[in-house]
Amino acid sequence: MQTPKLPIEVCERIIDCLAIFDHNSTIPDYNNALRSNPTLYSCALVCRDWTYRSQHHLFRQPVLLFTAHQAYAFLDVVTRHPHRARLVRHLTISPEPPPSPPSTPKPVSPPPRPPDLQETASSLVPTLPLDLPTPSASPIKTSSSPHPPQLPSQSDDQQSNVGQTSSQSESGDSDYPSTPTSLKPNIPLQDQTQDNAEEIYIPPCYYNWIYKLLIRLPPLLKNLSALVLDRLPTLHPRFIRLVSCFKTVKALSLWDSSAQSFNEIIQLINRLPQLTFLGINDIEWVRPARFFPSQRLRLEQLVCSVGSDGMMADMLDWLGSLQHLSGLRYVYLFDLESSAMSKTHHILHRCTHSLRFLSLSSDSKNIYESLSLSSHLQLEYLRIWVSTSPFPNHAALFSSCISKLLSPSLVCLSIGKFENLDPESFAALQSSWKDVDDALSDPKFNRLMYFVMNLNPGDKTTLDRKTLRATFNKIFPKSYQRGILWVAKYFDGYEQRGEHFPELNADLCLLICGAAYHICECDDRDDDFNISQFEMSYLRL
């Protein structure tokens, strides 16, 4: 007698409901699928009929690869099971830092030779370096300079390949065919750009598994849509050619890496025909003399932060040269310098009709003057972050800027930052913010529902919910009575966590999570109400 089974349609509907339930009730853990999808994951392990139909939801979370062992295990799975490879949507390659140098005893210096022998040897034998690195432990020096190290010469490349067999046996590369010499990363043995550079030990071919992965994955991951490259070595043309084989990628993020020139980054972007999201953070390059604009690129979302003023100028010049910039809807630029404000205004002017989500972070109050010229924007979300002087010093300039930027389509306004403020300091802003209160209470801005104030009370006081409600009622009496949700977000300690997700998502998600509260307090160190919940709430919109 056969066991009765539910119809397939009913099982698929239950699986979809469980996936939505796990997505809304748990905090994602990208390193553990059981924690991110506990209910669906448990059912898929128990019920054989559910296993295949649940993989579509279980593979939604990113695949993280940190080591060669993880990379080869993932490569083995997608090679033996092509149907699983088609389910992978998000891939993150973030190699762990190289191991520390082995502890070796300090060599004992030989006794000094007589001067006459030294003079005789120097006249007969050519001068040779006596501190050559051994093949098994080749030290290199990395510096904090934005100029990446030059590629090694042919002789250095041959020396770096010595001891490859021993390195492969330790990292697990011996079970897989070796990468051709032309595709191996060029890791310089020594970079002498700075004398005080920090010395880091990198074994030969430490990043070899990344190149093997990029060679074999593109034909397998036919539905890959998001690719994150983090903590990679210098991006040279060979690496760019391999990454450009992922033709289906729509979202590309480059984090904490370096390139020899900005042209190489542009070449990588141009070779991804479906790219709509570009994220650049802590990328350094040598400033080029000229670059070629992108002809086919149609960006919709941009998240950008680069190291220095010159690099940001290159990025803004390139954005301004795009022919199809009218479709840009999401812009997040942080670490803006004062000299880049005019170029930022030019970009905002070109995407006037499409831009809906704008977040700007700067160390200069000149950002207000630049935004005042962009009063024609029809934004739904606006975030302004100035982190130089205390906010009350330029409250009048801010209120004038906000009054010009308010539009009937605005839903959320987020401002910051407020540091070391007490209730008296908030009350002192009442006269400066009268224009903002009048504008917010205007009936034509009836879509505005949320006002986020990023707070860092510091050591002076702790502003509780009751005090904040009374303070807001004094500063914004008209708009407060209209029913706008005032949200106070405590960001103290968030910047030290080193999260990749921008604060922008946290701001908007805080509104969604705290919509039931008139004043919502948040401490990101609280496990019951942390930053990850805000980010996932934003992704559910």
- The overall average pLDDT reported for the chain is 64
Q: Residue 375 pLDDT more than 80?
A: no
Residue carrying structure tokens 């490259």: 229
Tell me the C-alpha distance between 208 and 438, whole Å: 62
Give 207-231 pLDDT, tens digit per residue: 778 888 888 999 999 999 999 888 8
DSSP output for 116-153: HHHHHHHHHS----S-PPPTTS-EEEE-S-SSPPPPP-
In this prediction, residue 430 has a pLDDT band, given cuts at 50, 70 and 90, of: low
The pLDDT of residue 409: 82
Q: Which two tokens stand for residue 233?
A: 């070595």
DSSP output for 249-261: --EEEEEEEEBS-
Tell me the C-alpha distance between 95 and 98, whole Å: 8
Tell me the C-alpha distance between 283 and 255, whole Å: 6
Give 254-268 pLDDT, tens digit per residue: 888 877 777 888 888
In this prediction, residue 249 has a pLDDT band, given cuts at 50, 70 and 90, of: very high
Q: Residue 138 pLDDT more than 70?
A: no
Strand 198-201 with 139-142, pairing: antiparallel
Longest CA pairwise span in the chain (Å): 102
173-183 mean pLDDT: 34
Tell whether the torsion through CA atoms of 80, 82, 84 and 87 is positive or negative. Answer: positive
Closest CA to 259 of 235, 243, 294: 235
Tell me the C-alpha distance between 453 and 186, whole Å: 48
501-510 mean pLDDT: 35
Give 287-322 pLDDT, tens digit per residue: 665 666 666 778 888 888 755 556 777 778 888 777
Residue carrying structure tokens 């890496």: 257
pTM for the whole structure = 0.65
Residue carrying structure tokens 């700075």: 194
Q: Which two tokens stand for residue 27?
A: 């905090």
65-69-75-77 Cα dihedral, nearest 10 degrees: -100
- Upstream peptide bond of 474 is cis (omega within 30 degrees of 0): no
